[in-house]
Amino acid sequence: MTPHFGLPEFGFLLRGLQWTVLLTLVAFAGGCTAGLAVALLRTCGHRGVEWITRIYIGIFQGTPLLLQLFVVYYGLALTGLKLDAFVAVAIGFTVNASAFLGEIWRGAIQAVPRGQTEAAMALGLHYSSRMRDIVLPQAIRISLPATIGYLVQLIKGTSLAAIVGFIELARAGQIVSNQTFQPLLVFGVVGAMYFILCWPLSWWGSRMEARLALASQR
């Protein structure tokens, strides 16, 4: 006797949703930290370092997220460390986020007018103060729409953890679908859950983009 899609199944999907949110938050926090380092290295002015970070970013932009996950997942297994599936996929998404956020913020740092840096230098501010107090606050503002856009990408991307077997929302959907034989209903609900998570962020991002575009016209 096969169970129908009811409250227990819905509850199972909700627990999957929790893992999706948690995975996104961990990867985003880790990606922000590492991404800032990537962005700073990418704009540090040292040619060799800039090239290396450029290649690092290029590799992540030029390969499928799914394969990056596979490589990190099986690569970590080879090191002999016994890692929880959550930790392994979280590391995979963090590395991916560091490259994408690094590239977004690289663009934002370079979009801050050069005169700002020159004025800060003329005032005798050293690199860390110049970045922290002058360039980064402006760069963050410029980069916000793209950063939010990447966050939406990340939420959707975490569904690929399902393929390596970690039970988040998409995998929970597969399991419930196999149990109930109601794939359309189940994946419809799963899709709706992702939509509720992503759509407000997308809307916020595009509104902010419109406002920034308006501000730069003045």
Partner 1 sequence: MGYTLDFSVVWQAMPALLWGCVGTLGLALAGMTLAMIIGVAGVAARDSKAAWLRALVIGFVEVVRNTPFLVQIFFLFFALPLIGLKLNPTATAIIALGVNGGAYAIEIIRGGVQSVHKGQVEAGYALGLHKGQVFRFIVLKPALRAIYPSLTGQFIMLTLTSSICSAVSAYELTSVAQRIESDTFRSFEVYFSVTFLYLAISWLLMLGFAVISHRFFSYPTR
| Residues lying near partner 1 in the complex (CB under 8 A) | 59, 61-68, 70-71, 74-75, 77-78, 80, 152, 156-157, 159-160, 162-163, 170, 173-174, 177, 183-184, 187-188, 190-191, 194-195, 198-199, 202
46 phi, psi to nearest 5 deg: -90, 120
Cβ nearer to partner 1, comparing 25 with 71: 71
From the CB of 216, what's the least distance to partner 1, in Å? Answer: 18
Work out whether the CA dihedral 53, 57, 62, 64 comes out positive or negative: positive
CB of 162 to partner 1, least distance (A): 7
Nearer to partner 1, 131 or 147 (CB): 147
User: Which lies closer to partner 1 via its Cβ, residue 140 or residue 201?
Assistant: 201
- We find the least distance from the C-beta atom of residue 94 to partner 1, in angstroms, to be 17
Closest to partner 1 by CB, 35 vs 157, is 157
